[in-house]
Amino acid sequence: LFFFAGEEWKRLRQNQSPTQRTTPSSAELAGDFSGLGKQLFFPGTTNPIPNNNIAALMTTDGKAIANVYSTINKLGQYTDSTNAVNNLTLTPTNPLDFREDIVRLDFHINDKHLLYGRWISDHNSLIDPFGTFSAGGNLPTTPTQRNRPGQSYLLAETWTVRPTIINQSTVNFSYVSQHIPPYGVNWKRETFGFQYAKLFPTAGAYPNGIPQVGITSFAGFQGPNFALNSPTTDIQLGDTLSIVKGNHLIKFGGVYVRNRVDQNGRPSYTGNVSFNASGNPITTGYALADALLGNFSSYQEASADPTGHFRFNQPEFFAQDTWKAFRNLSVEYGVR
């Protein structure tokens, strides 16, 4: 009897490389666009807004958008200036926790039977400050905790039928997954004061998430709709028979694999809103001002976050021969 057990831990504390984003100035977020250098107009008209000040016209959800930028601006090195580009530098933390356990067992039952078993368990947890699989260029409103657990069990039995015939049977079960929920509180509508009524208020796993917002010339942000849940299980049964006959080593056998994958689709069930002055009949002439007034150019919202259930059956069979034709020449051929 031989047995072995081991465990490995890793705790990594690190910061991501500096990332730059363009965000509005505090004056703009308060409704003061006097330093913009272009005239704003009352929505849908050619009437100029006095002093480019829209503070009295801002909507509740426009103020919520301003709150998002104000909150994120405090997380990095921020240059508070109207018309600035790449004025926010972010170096958020990116911690990793890892653990792996392994147990191995070899049992020599008798001269004809040998049993081998192995168990591996690992867990990998990483905080992605900008969100795992989120759209590029966004603000870190929705960090995610990327959890990747895994389990693997293997049992094999080697049977020496006779000195020239050996049979090996294996059973293997493995489970892996990605559980990627949102992290923190900045993904929630109530954190910033969003109050607009959703079309499908209960859709998705995180229906109280902020929408995905795009504003021309500025970094956008995203809610938790891209959170992923994707468990996978894999079951394998296999058998191989090896026969030594003269100068031939003949092997044949098969394996059957049953695979199960579940994964959610991650559509924009928290809402996807775009602010663009071009083609918007009720624009002020500037996308950010439109956002603070609620004059979106487009809005989309998914009615659900469906989960796909994928199932696979994979049978395989093979036969092969290794022929020691000469002392310095071996030929191997077969079919699978």
How far apart (Å, rounded) are the C-alpha atoms in residues 277 and 247? 80
What pLDDT does residue 134 have? 82
What is the reported pTM? 0.84
Q: Above 80 in pLDDT, residue 103?
A: yes
DSSP 26-51: HHHHTTB-TTSSS--BSTTSSPBPGG
pLDDT, position 137: 86
Task: Supply the pLDDT for residue 63.
Answer: 97
Report the alpha-carbon distance of residue 40 to residue 322 in Å, rounded. Answer: 81
Is the predicted pLDDT of residue 147 greater than 90, yes or no? yes
291 close to 54: Cβ distance less than 8 angstroms: no
pLDDT at 216: 95
Is the predicted pLDDT of residue 135 greater than 80, yes or no? no
Under 8 Å between Cβ of 64 and 195: yes
pLDDT recorded at residue 180? 96
The pLDDT tens digits of the residues spanning 303-322 come to 999 999 999 999 999 999 99
Among 100, 98, 96, 97, CA closest to 7: 100
Task: List pLDDT tens digits, range 54-71.
Answer: 999 999 999 999 999 999
DSSP string, 218-243: EEEE--GGG-EEEEEEEEEEEEEEEE
Q: Is the pLDDT of residue 183 over 80?
A: yes
Model pLDDT, residue 148: 95
Dump pLDDT digits (tens) for 5-40. Answer: 999 999 999 999 999 999 999 999 999 999 999 999
Mean pLDDT of 274-281: 93
Whole-angstrom Cα distance, residue 93 to residue 287?
31
Number of neighbouring beta carbons within 10 Å of residue 87: 20
- Measure the CA–CA gap between 22 and 215, rounded to whole angstroms: 11
The stretch 72-85 carries a mean pLDDT of 95
Average pLDDT rounded to a whole number, residues 72-99:
95
